[in-house]
Amino acid sequence: GCTKEACSFRDNASAFADFHAQRVGISMDDVAKQAEFSSQHNFDYPLLADTDGAVAKSYGVKRAIGLLKVKRTTFVINQDRTIRAVISSEFNMNAHVDQALAALAN
């Protein structure tokens, strides 16, 4: 899940660049774990650590219970910090990139 989704954002770098869009990944993993993950998969975009879940909670994607700590969600955010699109899919990892690019095109 996470690997396929993150690699899809990496593999579509030029499509996001066409829209002058900055890709950023965020999870509740610590910085060391993210650095290792990023290095293993040659990511060309930053991964941010939300170890206490404050960001996830503020965006309404933190789960109260369960093995998965957050809902798999992509936010397309304008430069003025307004949310342009919210993409949620636990199973279709390609939906995140496809729908984010569609939102940028509109």
**53 touches 70 (CB < 8 A):** yes
User: Mind listing the pLDDT tens digit for each residue in 67-106?
Assistant: 678 888 999 999 999 999 999 988 888 899 999 999 999 9
Reported confidence tier of residue 1, pLDDT bands at 50, 70, 90 = low
Percent of the chain surpassing pLDDT 90 = 81
Residue 20 scores a pLDDT above 90: yes
Residue 19 scores a pLDDT above 80: yes
CATH homologous superfamily, domain 2-105: Glutaredoxin (3.40.30.10)
Question: Which sequence positions are flagged as catalytic?
Answer: 2
